[in-house]
Copies of this chain bind each other. A is one copy, B any other.
Amino acid sequence: LAISALIFDVFGTCVDWRTSVAREVAAVLPDVDAFAFADAWRGQYQPAMERIRVGNRGYVALDDLHLENLALVLEIFEATSADAKALNCAWEKLDPWPDVSPGLKELKKLALIAPCSNGSIAMMARLARFGGMPWDCILGADIARDYKPNDEVYLASVRALRLLPKDVMMVAAHNDDLEAARNAGLQTAFVPRPTEFGTAQSTDLVPAGNWTIVARDFQDLARQIKLSKID
């Protein structure tokens, strides 16, 4: 197994966005159900990106989509926020899962590491500081000016590293993200995050494809890649 770079989904795969956003919401809007609010906010995520993916809207960074979506969700919850822009920065303060920071340090010894997220460079840079994620560079939606799972996002990220798709591995907790990456020619690693959507989560609990690697967490992923290089 020869990999020159590992690129990562971030929301869900690296960070526990749901608990973290709910924490920020609870601090600012004490009267709403913070988890329901976080879920509703995230619920607007795919539809907002879909308009851009299909070409009905030019590229708009996720920071701006989040702010538009926040206005919708505040309306649904009949809530008002004195400073919506400040609340929007909740997406820059997301806790990584416990294995992520130590795991990335191990993985960085083996290959280039970079986020390939739908988040912007600005969001990813601030999130990396908050969560101790030692990326070599930031790839993803802003580089491609498009949103995953459109294949241009994976391919633009691979090109930015001046590598071939087969030399790059996409790491994600979501089977659809890996399917799109594999269709673009990348290698794939599935790392389940069974509580991303809460304890009743029913999706993405197991690998749904024949991925290159299935790992328990980022430290296990580092171990498996190391072993495959020795073999």
Spell out A's residues near B (CB within 8 Å): 61, 63, 112, 114, 120-122, 124-126, 128-129, 134-139, 142-143, 160-163
Contact = CB atoms under 8 A, between A and B. Distances in A.
A70 to B, nearest CB: 16
B122 A162 contact: yes
A89 to B, nearest CB: 11
Given A136-B128, A137-B138, A161 B112 contact: no
A122 B135 CA distance: 13
When all copies of this chain in the complex are counted, the total is 2
Q: Is the interface of A mostly helix, strand, loop or mixed?
A: mixed
Interface centre among A129, A139, A160 (most CB of B within 10 A): A160
| Those 3 A-B pairs whose CB atoms lie nearest each other, nearest first | A122-B162, A125-B137, A137-B138
Contact of A162 (B63, B138, B160): B63
B112 A125 contact: yes
Contacts of A125: 112, 114, 136-137, 161
Given A112-B125, A125-B112, A160 B142 contact: yes
Contacts of A124: 137
A136 B123 CA distance: 11
B142 A121 contact: no
Contact of A121 (B122, B129, B137): B137
Nearest to A108: B129
A63 B159 CA distance: 12
A138 B136 CA distance: 8
A225 to B, nearest CB: 17
A162 B61 contact: yes
Given A137-B137, A137-B138, A122 B63 contact: no
